[in-house]
Amino acid sequence: MKKILFIIGLFSLVSFGAIAQSSNDGRGGFGIRGGASLFNFGGEDASNNDYDNRIGYHFGLYNTFFIGESLAIEPGVYYAVKGTQNEDLIKSRAVLGYVDVPVIFRVYFSEGLNFFGGGQVSFLTSSRFEGDFFGSTYGFDTEAINKTDFGVLLGAGYTLPIGLNVQASYDLGLTPVFEDSNSEIYNRGFKVSLGYTF
């Protein structure tokens, strides 16, 4: 937890320090973003199981500042709910909470249209296996999940002149979900987001 708080504090300092530079050109700035997520377990070993996409959510802060006419860098901090589910009798599911810390590069091909990619480190905040029994939800917390997940992001977005922006992205986890396991199972998922730059 101390590591997470340190990273959030560091990001805040970098973000607010960069606002002056980003706001000078009138295009970048500090903002908030959130939306829906559709995650599943992926990888070679995941294909042998009956995993299904699970709907989650994400929200957080970002700062965009330009380092050229059409190139921008954007660090962020988000809380994201990931995991998977199974359409079995009890609707069993894994509910995984993370603090995502991405750093992406955006390339603008027009005034608003942009494509982006970059790296991300995610810190596990909660991990729970659940199921539904006779109309109630039961479950248990687990320590079997890796505490840190490294991954990459790819996506496309559009920025409106009024500060609103929309984007769609794909998260490709590179660290196995389960620790102390040889299983090639990873967090994989799509995000659709709405943001506002101040």
First-to-last alpha carbon distance for the chain, in angstroms, is: 29
pLDDT band (50, 70, 90) for residue 23: very low
| DSSP letter string, the chain | -HHHHHHHHHHHHHHHHHHHHHHHTTS-EEEEEEEEEEEEEESTTGGGS--B-EEEEEEEEEEEEESSSSEEEEEEEEEEEEEEE--STT--EEEEEEEEEEEEEEEESSSSEEEEEEEEEEEEEEEEEEEEETTEEEEEE-S-B-SEEEEEEEEEEEE-TTSEEEEEEEEEE-S-SBTT-----EEEEEEEEEEEE-
Which domains, ranges and CATH numbers included, belong to the chain? 2-197 (2.40.160.20)
Give the pLDDT of residue 78. 97
Q: Tokens for 155?
A: 């996506």
83-92, 98-107, 119-128, 178-187: least confident range: 83-92
Instruction: Specify the pairing of strand 71-85 against strand 93-108.
Output: antiparallel
d(CA 3, CA 107): 31
pTM over 0.85, yes/no: no
List the structure tokens of 96.
């995984």
Region 92-98 average pLDDT: 90
Residue 38, token pair as written in the block: 């559709």
